[in-house]
Amino acid sequence: MSFDYDLFVIGGGSGGVRAARVAAGDTGAKVALAEEDRYGGTCVIRGCVPKKLMVFASEYADMVGDAQAYGWDIKAGAFNWGHFRGKMHAELDRLEGIYRNILKNNGVESFDARAKLVDAHTVELSDGTRKTAKHILIATGGHPVKPDIPGAELAITSNEIFHLETLPKTMLIVGGGYIASEFAGIMNGLGVKTTQFYRGAQILRGFDDEARGLVCEEMCQAGIDVHLGTNVLEMRKEGDQIWVKATNGEERLFDHVMFATGRAPNADDLGLEALGIERGRKGEILVDDYSQTGVPSVFAIGDVTDRVNLTPVAIREGMAFVETVFKGNPTKPDHELIPTAIFTQPEMGTVGLSEEDAAEQEPIDVYSTSFKPMQQAFAGRAQRVLMKLVVSKASRKVLGCHIVAPGAGEMIQLAGIAVKMGATKEDFDRTVAVHPTMSEELVTMKTPVRSA
Ligand SMILES: Cc1cc2nc3c(=O)[nH]c(=O)nc-3n(C[C@H](O)[C@H](O)[C@H](O)COP(=O)(O)OP(=O)(O)OC[C@H]3O[C@@H](n4cnc5c(N)ncnc54)[C@H](O)[C@@H]3O)c2cc1C
């Protein structure tokens, strides 16, 4: 049977672009890709990249104060959102161009269209044309969802925050995950009076308790009004503002409300049901260890499969798919010991098990130290950092490493290599400290603070 293409990829985000590029570029496969919106997907257009630029922008406020403490005769001026937003979007346009060119330069034919499946080897584009392919890869990502409460339409999500006309004076951020907590820090740093509601007992659920506790404490110290155990009941427009009634009985007005209360896979209206492709409880596409759906010619990777929703993971899944299907080398994407950063202020870097999860698994020793870092302490800031290792009593392997500190994302990338290699506490100990740094504490902690 002959097909138009060897591979048709639906979705031009992190996972889809990488799979298409590698399949076409490395193996000479005939590849096409459809993208209904902008190339680069969530990460480049409305996720990691613009978010990190906003984190950078928001951190300068404190730097001016620190510089003064170090003797610099400088004064903080006002933050110009319009100037920054223009530059940020110009940068995103540039990156989108790069993604388009990557596809073109590797011989991938791209269609600016929505695509859906018609049968196991056919996709239909939004203009009605149909294309056939030996393999179809679904990499359609996800989207933010708002809770079903009165007035929810008045709120924005992370999709809209990058396009605000003006910066609000006051903002409520609802949610306790990494996106909500990161934007609380960003907005606060940019001078917006920021409130965060989270219905749970502590933000950043699933991460190490001690680490997330410190992040929350520092966020409050920095001026964010964090309300735990609190959710929004209803909202309505009141003049230019939004009236919010909270579950704690409070009624307050905000210029903007942002929901960061969850994301759902983009798997509706893709024609999956007709093909019998199964979906999970959250609507995600169910795949096996090789990202294959129940229909052998159809694979799915990235956020639409809701495994580990991070850009480098979508990319790894895309590359493993190409290895398996186009290079004859069956490869499972590795979801173990993924280092990751949360760009809150302070930042958190983490790899492996939290103290709580490790303690459920086996007896552990916990090495942990919290202190005021030299650079900020000199400037008179009370900020604290945390360096923590969770160690197996039996094997002495480091099961988890958790860092809360400026630059924690950069540190955990490197600590992640050691943990992935199976380093023991003694391997950390025989590594000479880099002095004076914050992370030297990771190799100088002598006695466990507790065992469990
Ligand atoms: C605010 C925010 C911050 C984030 N920060 C980080 C971070 O710091 N680090 C990190 O690792 N991850 C981060 N992420 C997560 C990361 O962005 C995603 O995990 C990653 O983009 C998933 O890649 P993907 O290829 O699965 O999907 P996406 O990148 O979402 O790409 C899917 C693409 O498919 C297109 N599409 C959908 N349906 C169709 C269709 N039917 N036809 C054609 N095209 C279609 C979409 O338009 C989209 O471009 C963040 C996410 C958000 C929302």
Q: What is the pLDDT of residues 72-104, one digit of tens each?
A: 999 988 999 999 999 999 999 999 999 999 999
Query: What is residue 90's predicted lDDT score, i.e. its pLDDT?
Result: 98
Tell me, using a 6 A CB cutoff, whether residue 158 lines ligand 1. Answer: yes
Is pTM beyond 0.75? Reply is yes
Nearest CA to ligand 1 atom 52: 47
Q: How far apart are CA 54 and CA 247, in angstroms?
A: 30
d(CA 40, CA 44): 5
177 lines ligand 1 (CB under 6 A): no
Residue 381, class by beta-carbon neighbours within 10 Å (0-12 exposed, 13-18 middle, 19+ buried)?
middle
CA distance 131 to 211: 50
Q: Judge whether residue 225 has pLDDT over 90.
A: yes
Would you place residue 331 in the very low, low, confident or very high pLDDT band (cuts 50, 70, 90)? very high
Instruction: Report the alpha-carbon distance of residue 286 to residue 65 in Å, rounded.
Output: 51
| Interval 100-128: pLDDT, tens | 999 999 999 999 999 999 999 999 999 99
pLDDT tens for each residue of 375-410: 999 999 989 999 999 999 999 999 999 999 999 999
- Alpha-carbon span 407 to 417, nearest angstrom: 17
CA-proximal residue: ligand 1, atom 15 (nearest): 310
* Half-sphere exposure for 376 (CA within 13 Å, toward CB): 15
Report whether residue 348 contacts ligand 1, using a CB cutoff of 6 Å: no
Q: Note every long-range contact of 177-181, with CB atoms under 8 Å and residues 24 or more positions apart, other chains counting.
A: 177/203, 177/204, 177/205, 177/260, 177/262, 178/204, 178/342, 178/343, 178/344, 179/51, 179/260, 180/258, 180/260, 180/261, 181/215, 181/219, 181/342, 181/344
Q: Is the CB of 339 under 6 A from ligand 1?
A: no
Kindly indicate the confidence band of residue 1, based on its pLDDT and cuts at 50, 70 and 90. Answer: confident
- CA-based torsion, 412, 418, 424, 428: positive or negative: negative
Beta bridge partners of 194: 171
Which strand (E) or helix (H) includes residue 382? none
Given ligand 1 and candidates 137, 311, 348, which is best to mutate, with the most ligand atoms within 8 Å of its CB?
311
**Residue 135 a catalytic site member:** no
CA of 179 to the centre of ligand 1 (A): 13
**Position in ligand 1 atom list of the atom nearest CA 39:** 49
265 lines ligand 1 (CB under 6 A): no
**Mean confidence (pLDDT) of the chain:** 97
Are 304 and 13 in contact, with CB atoms under 8 Å apart? no
State if residue 32 touches ligand 1 by the CB under 6 angstroms criterion: no
Q: How far is the CA of 41 from the centre of ligand 1 (A)?
A: 5
* 130-141: average pLDDT: 98
Nearest alpha-carbon partner for 252 in 268, 232, 266, 272: 232
Tens of pLDDT, residue by residue over 157-187, are 999 999 999 999 999 999 999 999 999 999 9
Q: Which of 266, 310, 291, 8 is nearest to 131 (CA)?
A: 8
Atom 5 (ligand 1): residue with closest C-alpha?
Answer: 48
- Whole-angstrom Cα distance, residue 349 to residue 412? 5
Could you give the 3-state DSSP secondary structure of residue 202?
coil
- How would you label 98-108 residue by residue, b for 16+ Cβ within 10 Å and e otherwise? ebbebbeebeb
From CA 136, how far away is CA 298, in angstroms rounded? 5
Give residue 395 CA to ligand 1 midpoint distance, Å. 38
What integer pLDDT is reported at residue 76 of this predicted model? 85
Paired sense of beta strands 130-138 and 5-10, if any: parallel
* Centre of ligand 1 from the C-alpha of residue 40, in Å: 8
**Among 83, 121, 143, 435, the one annotated catalytic:** 435
Atom of ligand 1 nearest to the CA of 116: 41
